[in-house]
A and B are shown apart, each in its own frame.
Chain A
């Protein structure tokens, strides 16, 4: 497995498989296994409880979306001692309960794994060019997502 990867796909992903890949990723220190793995999975929320046929459509800017996420993965690798980072983001038509996004980080220590995972997710949410549409309505960007991303810029 590559040390870092970004995949944007319509297909669903298997968290157990991603976890195993992170678990087996050899640290560059020659250790056989990381000491910690942090995983975040984002799911589609139910936005209209009365509508059984609700769909979430995800659009992205091909090329730039991968580039922006990779940049934040690189930043995370500079900032924390991590062994591997893997990001998967789905596009296309999804339904409530579906998996949308996966961020997995392996490291020697939990602090680095937790922090890098949250950092990549916070930055992805406020900077990576993806847009959600709930049925026919475009989702409005939230101030709190921007604040969550900006707080990392003020921390040592």
Chain B
């Protein structure tokens, strides 16, 4: 597994972005990690970030739905959002 630092962007939508007070951020991590590990890292930021642990929250990697096991690599776009309600 490569150990070079990675730069990623993370987007939050709808009620989740309001709860977190954040819509988009760019972060640097020491190495590639899984989506699940990234979520864990973010929830450690504080109480409001525990919202990410809600099982209803969906994750996307590079604009496709993704499971926690997926690996996040340099330049990737990650997104977290509540169940969709369009249409």
Contacts and interface: CB of A to CB of B under 8 A. Distances in A.
A64 B13 CA distance: 12
Contacts of B86: 58, 60, 65, 89, 100-101, 124-125, 128-132
Interface residues of B, number: 17
B11 interface: yes
Interface in A63-81: 63-65, 67
Query: Looking at chain A's contact residues, is the secondary structure mostly helix, strand, loop, or mixed?
Result: mixed
Interface in B16-70: 56, 60, 63-65
Contacts of B14: 59, 131, 133, 138
B87 A141 contact: no
Contacts of A60: 86
Contacts, number: 72
Contacts of A121: 87
Given A61-B63, A63-B63, A140 B13 contact: no
Nearest to B77: A63
Given A59-B14, A61-B13, A128-B87, A67 B82 contact: no
B13 A126 contact: no
Contact of A67 (B15, B64, B85): B64
B79 interface: yes
B84 interface: yes
Contacts of A140: 83, 85
Contacts of A58: 86
A93 to B, nearest CB: 15
A53 B40 CA distance: 41
A46 interface: no
The residue in B14, B79, B84 that gathers the most chain A C-beta atoms within 10 A of its C-beta is B84
Interface of B: 11, 13-15, 56, 60, 63-65, 79, 81-87
